[in-house]
A and B are shown apart, each in its own frame.
Chain A
Amino acid sequence: MAVSCLTRALRSMTLSQPALLSSQAITQTGLCRGFLTTASLEQNRTFWKQREKYTIKPMGMKKTGGRDHTGRIRTHGIGGGHKQKYRWIDFQRLRYEPNNEAKPFEEKVVEVRYDPCRSADIALLAGGSRKRWIIATENMQAGDIIKTSGVIGRMAVSANEGDAYPLGALPVGTLVNNLEVQPGKGSEYIRAAGTSGILLRKVNGTAIIQLPSKQQVQVLETCIVTVGRVSNIDHNKRIIGKAGRNRWLGIRPSSGLWQRKGGWAGRKIKPLPPMKVYVNLPSISAK
Chain B
Amino acid sequence: MLLEKTRCLKAAAQLSSQTVLLKELSRLSSHGGARRHFGISRPLAAKVPPPRKPRERVDIPGLEMVTYADRMHFVPGLTKPVGPRWERDYKDPRYYESPPAHEMPLFKETPCYVFNQRTSALEGVRQALWLTKTKLIPHLPPQLLSLTENPANQIPDQDERVQNAIKHARFWDTTQERPGKEKYSNTLLLNLLHLCATLQSSHPAIGRRIFSEKYSLAATWKRGEDVFQIRGQNGLLHNCMDPLPEVSGKQEVADTADHVLEALYPVSPTIDLQKVHVYKDEPNCTGFRGDYPYPHAHTLYFLEGADARCKLRPEQFRAKMLMFTFGNALVRAHKAYGTQPRHVLDRPITVQAVGTNGRIFQFMVLQLNTTDLSGDDGIKNQVPAGLTGYKPEVFSKFLALYLHGAV
Contact = CB atoms under 8 A, between A and B. Distances in A.
Interface of A: 5-6, 9-10, 26, 29-34, 38-45, 69-72, 105-108, 110, 126-131, 145
Contacts of B83: 30-31, 33
Contact of B266 (A26, A106, A131): A106
B9 interface: no
Contact of A71 (B30, B34, B69, B270): B30
B150 interface: no
Interface in B154-194: none
Given A30-B69, A126-B266, A126-B267, 18 more contacts: A5-B72, A29-B69, A29-B70, A41-B35, A44-B30, A69-B30, A69-B51, A70-B30, A70-B48, A71-B33, A105-B266, A108-B266, A126-B271, A127-B267, A128-B267, A129-B268, A129-B271, A130-B271
B144 interface: no
Interface in B230-266: 265-266
A44 B32 contact: yes
A44 B33 contact: yes
Given A30-B81, A40-B34, A70-B33, A108 B72 contact: no
Given A9-B72, A33-B83, A126-B271, A42 B266 contact: no
A127 B266 CA distance: 6
Nearest to A30: B69
Contact of A39 (B30, B34, B70): B34
Nearest to B273: A129
* Shortest beta-carbon contacts, A-B, top 6: A71-B30, A106-B266, A39-B34, A44-B33, A29-B70, A70-B48
Interface string B36-51: 1000000000001001
A131 B34 CA distance: 44
B80 interface: yes
A37 B29 CA distance: 18
Contacts of A33: 81, 83
A44 B34 CA distance: 10
A106 B31 CA distance: 51
A177 B51 CA distance: 36
Interface string B65-92: 0000110111000001101000000000
Contacts of A31: 83
B122 interface: yes
Contact of A6 (B35, B51, B72, B271): B72
Given A30-B83, A108-B267, A131 B122 contact: yes
27 contacts: A5-B72, A26-B70, A29-B69, A29-B70, A31-B83, A33-B81, A34-B80, A39-B34, A40-B34, A41-B34, A41-B35, A42-B32, A43-B33, A69-B51, A70-B33, A71-B30, A71-B31, A72-B48, A106-B265, A110-B122, A126-B266, A127-B266, A128-B266, A128-B267, A128-B271, A129-B273, A131-B122
Contact of B81 (A9, A32, A38, A128): A32
Contacts of B266: 105-108, 126-128, 145
Contacts of A72: 48
A30 B83 CA distance: 7
A127 B73 CA distance: 58
A42 B30 CA distance: 11
Contacts of B265: 106
Residue with the greatest number of chain A CB neighbours at <10 A, chosen from B32, B33, B51, B80:
B33
A122 to B, nearest CB: 17
Interface string B10-42: 000000000000000000011111111000000
Nearest to B123: A126
Contacts of A5: 72
B34 to A, nearest CB: 5
A47 B360 CA distance: 46
Contacts of B36: 38
Nearest to B48: A70
B389 to A, nearest CB: 26
A118 to B, nearest CB: 24
B157 to A, nearest CB: 47
Contacts of A127: 266-267
A158 B88 CA distance: 65
A141 to B, nearest CB: 16
A130 B275 CA distance: 12
B31 A44 contact: yes
Contacts of B267: 108, 126-128
A110 B127 CA distance: 15
Interface in B188-246: none
A8 B265 CA distance: 74
A45 B31 CA distance: 11
Nearest to B34: A39
Contacts of B70: 26, 29
Nearest to B54: A41
A34 B79 CA distance: 11
A66 B80 CA distance: 37
Nearest to B80: A34
Residue with the greatest number of chain A CB neighbours at <10 A, chosen from B31, B83, B267:
B267
Nearest to A38: B36
A34 B67 CA distance: 12
Contacts of B122: 110, 126, 131
Contacts of B51: 43, 45, 69
A5 B81 CA distance: 15
A129 B127 CA distance: 12
A69 B32 CA distance: 11
A60 to B, nearest CB: 17
A267 B357 CA distance: 63
A137 to B, nearest CB: 18
A71 B51 CA distance: 12
